[in-house]
A = this chain, B = another copy of it.
């Protein structure tokens, strides 16, 4: 029985990352849930379309590392909320180009503003070097 009493789950990196991710997303989650009735999958799709312009569901999946079923459902929900429209691509009619509507862009702009200030608030306790290191480390761990 090789016990390792010195190993503490609370310093296990995946655990720590998960705790930090959950805690840090709470306040923002509240915002898009209460105000727009959206799920995390939905605002992610919205953000990607808002930031990178119209694209297919598949392209979002590659960028955001989201499974296609999640995207399919998020897109359906956003379509019903009239935040985006679909358009079959004529050159290959399996693809659908997703485009934000005016309403969708407005929600995107609002959430962007909120996310921006919220992000700054989260990062405030750290120095510029610490912030840079933290982001680089996370990107590396996320294999982005």
| A residues whose Cβ falls under 8 Å from a Cβ of B | 1-5, 7-25, 28, 44, 47-48, 51, 65, 105-106, 109, 112-113, 115-116, 119, 122-123, 125-126, 130, 133-135, 137-144
Contact, CB under 8 Å: B16 / A138: yes
Copies in the complex: 2
Least Cβ distance of A21 to chain B in Å? 4
The A interface, classified by DSSP as helix, strand, loop or mixed, is helix
A133 x B133 contact (CB < 8 A): yes
| Cα(A22)–Cα(B41), bound, Å | 15
> Which chain B residues lie closer than 8 Å to A122 at the CB level?
13-14, 141
- Least CB distance, A130 to chain B, in whole angstroms: 6
* Chain B, residue nearest A26 (CB): B14
Chain B residues positioned under 8 Å from A113 (CB to CB): 2, 4
Residues of B within 8 A of A22 (CB): 65, 142
- Cα distance A19–B15 in the bound complex, in angstroms: 13
